[in-house]
Amino acid sequence: MRDLPQVRLHVRVDPFTSLAVLAAQVGVRRLVTAIGGAEDIAGLAGAMLGVLTQVEQSHTRLLAIEQKLDNLLDQRYTAGLGAGTRLLEQAFIEGRQETSRRDDLRRADAHLVDASHSANTAIQRALVERLLLLVRLGLGDVAVARDSWRRFDLHVGDAIAGEFARYEDPYAEAKSRIEAGEFGAISTWDRLFATPDPRHFRAVKKVESDACAGTKDLAPLLGDAMTGALLVGATEGRPPAVPVAGTNCVVVDVPLGAQVRLAGLVATMECGPEEPVVTGWVKRRASARVALSPDRSTPVRIGIANGKPDLYLQRADRSPSNVTTLAPGQELNPSSEVSFQKEHFVRRIALEAGGVVLSARVPSFGDLLGPLNPRLSR
């Protein structure tokens, strides 16, 4: 596995970039009652339309990635997705009568179900299920909405893992894109003198860039899946943090020692006490229990590491001994041990599973004395 980036967890999120942001602004209870028609939609109409506009823009960007990968979009899929999005937007226009709004939602449901039958990839399925979640909440069918949320959560995890795999191993895709003529023909000079193909480096960098762009667009989808859990009442194990897009992964801040559920993963991270090694040096072990839903599509590579606040599984931390493959339906217990000087104590541990990085802050000695001496808190 290659280096994961250093990412700061606290970032500014523009209004209405995702359902998660809207829920944070107006409250989950009010959002649920407004979507379901129990509260006048007028107060949220503009906000909902703003979210749906961003949803449509993310559709466009993510489906463009699909086409670059030669994942041809079925005409039924694009037609159903487009019609379902338009009808959902129409249902939330201010001033719509309840009967008209419910009729729009039923028609949107039918179009989106048709699109789901034609979806070929995890990204395509995730885009459909995100909309079906809202439609079915609007119709007041919480049981069916919960099923849409569950599939949405799983498909987002598979989609992020797919983009992460492209970044980790870009070479096969780069070769196929070179052969397809995307980077032009090799020059006579290079062919004559048998020099390395100059297109190779450009192609690899382009694949990595495309994968990073895909990851950036998938981060809000993971946030919407986490918010969707609140909307359907599946709150157990849902971290409160907003996902942050790294260069090639999505980072979520989670509590240490708590069981976390997202993207088809169930994980708990622990960090052992400091143990002396030699004079001035100590060691600490990070460990995790992590399971992958049997409904996820493909295995993921997992690894755990510990380090400074912005450190997420650097190359030195991810030796073959602490990186392994987790298959759907399987549970594993990865661990990692690090030695460090006492003044440079471990701040965070991180678990990476298929491009989703769970980052947990480790309490420091200063945290324990914080109430007595705030200057010692970090």
Which amino acid, residue 243?
Answer: P
pTM of the model: 0.80
* Span 151-168, pLDDT tens digits: 999 999 999 999 999 888
Buried b (16+ CB within 10 A) or exposed e, 43-58: ebbebbbbbbebbbeb
Give Cβ neighbours of residue 325 (< 8 Å, ≥ 6 apart): 299, 300, 301, 302
Q: What is the pLDDT of residue 37?
A: 55
Q: Is residue 196 pLDDT above 80, yes or no?
A: no
Q: Please say whether the beta carbons of 334 and 290 come within 8 A.
A: yes
Q: In terms of DSSP bridges, do strands 323-326 and 300-307 run parallel, antiparallel, or are they unpaired? A: antiparallel
* Span 8-33, pLDDT tens digits: 333 233 323 456 555 655 566 666 66
Q: What is the pLDDT of residue 68?
A: 62
Buried b (16+ CB within 10 A) or exposed e, 20-34: bbbbbeeeeeebbeb
d(CA 218, CA 94): 29
More confident position, 295 or 42 = 295
- State in words which class domain 255-376 has: mainly beta
Q: What is the pLDDT of residue 67?
A: 65
* Span 220-271, pLDDT tens digits: 889 888 888 887 888 888 887 778 888 788 999 899 999 999 999 999 999 8
d(CA 153, CA 222): 7
Q: How far is CA 352 from CA 93, 108, 135, in A?
A: 41, 37, 33
What residues are paired with 297 via a beta bridge? none
Which string of DSSP letters, residue by residue, matches 310-363?
A: T----GGG--GGGEEEE-TT-EE--EEEEEEETTS---EEEEEETTEEEEEEPP
* Residue extents of the structural domains in the chain: 19-235, 255-376
